[in-house]
Amino acid sequence: MTLRVETDKQSGVAVVTLDRPDRHNAIDLATAGELADVWREFRFDDSVRAVVLTGAGERAFCTGIDRDAEVPQPHSPYSIDDPLVAIGPRANDLWKPVIAAVNGMACGGAFYLIGESDFVVADETATFFDPHTTYGMVSAYETMLLAQRMPVGEVARMALMGSAERISARRAYETGLVSEVTGPGGARAAAVACAETIASYPTEAVQGTVRAVWAAKEATRTQALAHAPHLITLGNLPPERQAELFTGRRPGGFRVR
């Protein structure tokens, strides 16, 4: 298993941990399937009233798709199979509150998860960036999800600057991506404390509020996401060229703002 799930029946809080620290908690096909399964299971588990999502280790929350994952694609130019499109709680019709606790790097496909969380707590070591354009890929789903909670100019800068720039936890807080910044290693505990408070409230009121918040932006989000597959199909370089760019990357060479 590439996920670790801990449920406290007394508090009603479940902690879901991406457990591939040796791969920076990158998501392979097995992890994608496990995430979808967990969210669907929580729909029927009344003992879980709030969820914290985090990553194992100190180096990364998640770095998106595992570059070694083999993802077969249909031959039609009108179709694309994205293994991350259904890894989030909302994509699996879970409307219980989900809090992301971010430590270390969060980049690329990590924003599928962050974008479908209700709010984000990050420790001061966290950094956020989107390397898609650097490696010849269109940032579509990521930017569309982030644009629901950050100023559009900040989203554009993150996506267009690619791997040359990372956003600090403090800057992420200033732009609204993060709701709280903790000391090193403190994000999970802070997120759990929030989740315990939320889980102590009447379930119907909490879940109704979650739905209300998401309903406020659902029409725009749905319309935007409908364009994502076509933009990716048109704009992505061939996989072998992407791999060349990724393999040729130089360590470092980025600024943190």
Residues 151, 42: Cα–Cα separation, whole Å: 32
CATH number 3.40.30.10 is the correct assignment for the domain at 1-75+83-184+200-257: no
Residues 1, 72: Cα–Cα separation, whole Å: 22
Domain ranges of the chain: 1-75+83-184+200-257
Return the SS3 of 106. strand
Which DSSP symbol is given to 27? B
Residues 41, 94: Cα–Cα separation, whole Å: 9
The average pLDDT across 36-54 equals 97
Residues 145, 89: Cα–Cα separation, whole Å: 13
| Tokens 């999800």, located at residue | 145
pLDDT tens profile 108-142: 999 999 999 999 999 999 999 999 999 898 899 89
Whole-number average pLDDT of the chain: 92
How much of the chain, in percent, has pLDDT values that exceed 70?
98
